[in-house]
Amino acid sequence: MAQANNPTRRPRGKLIVISGPSGVGKSTITRAVIGRLRDVYLSVSMTTRPQAPGEQDGRDYWFVSRDEFRRRIEAGQFLEYAEVFGNLYGTPRDKTEAALEAGRTVILEIDVQGGRQVKAICPQAVMIFILPPSRQTLVDRIGRRGRESGEVVARRLRAAEGEIAAAAECYDNRVINDDLERAIDDVIRIVENAPDA
């Protein structure tokens, strides 16, 4: 993804991957960061997971069938994709590429499997992993969201522990969300210091 050395072209944007276990406050931090920085594009992922109440197609996710998702994999339309909790999620390649070309900072809020793929394709991508202050906080936050059944909550907790362990290898930035404002400031500083993708 390196840019040819052409001084008349705008520099490419930065590529930022934000991951972390569910319930850790990733979306809250990401939204705040986007509100405070200029020229940031938050990638809208495509998913086969059912649309939840309050979610909007094209804003929260692009909701598609499994067949449609498979078709798009075959067509090479994803920068990365992964199966998470039994559903497919992927980052549309064309929109992120266009935003990077336009010099915008692109933020991907994706899981660790996807993060690894992005880092392999684009080594300049800056990887941020958001951590809960403690295991108990994570248990409380996942349980409180109330969107899922007890079994799903237990599965998400196990997945969270797996993600935290797996993140150690390719996430060079770790931010502990024990104080929201400080966590937001930390992420902003990391984004500001990130190299162009």
Where do contacts with ligand 5GP occur on this chain (CB under 6 A)? 22, 45, 49, 80, 82, 84, 89-91, 109-111, 113-114
Q: Which of 103, 128, 104, 1 is nearest to 43 (CA)?
A: 104
Cβ neighbours of residue 191 under 8 Å, at least 6 residues apart? Answer: 14, 16, 33, 37, 105, 107, 126
**Beta carbon nearer to ligand 5GP, 42 or 190:** 42
Nearest distance in Å: CB 196, ligand 5GP: 22
**Beta carbon nearer to ligand 5GP, 7 or 150:** 150
Nearest distance in Å: CB 95, ligand 5GP: 11
**Beta carbon nearer to ligand 5GP, 91 or 173:** 91
Nearest distance in Å: CB 103, ligand 5GP: 22
**Beta carbon nearer to ligand 5GP, 22 or 105:** 22
Nearest distance in Å: CB 4, ligand 5GP: 28
**Beta carbon nearer to ligand 5GP, 80 or 186:** 80
Q: Which residue is nearest to ligand 5GP (CB)?
A: 114
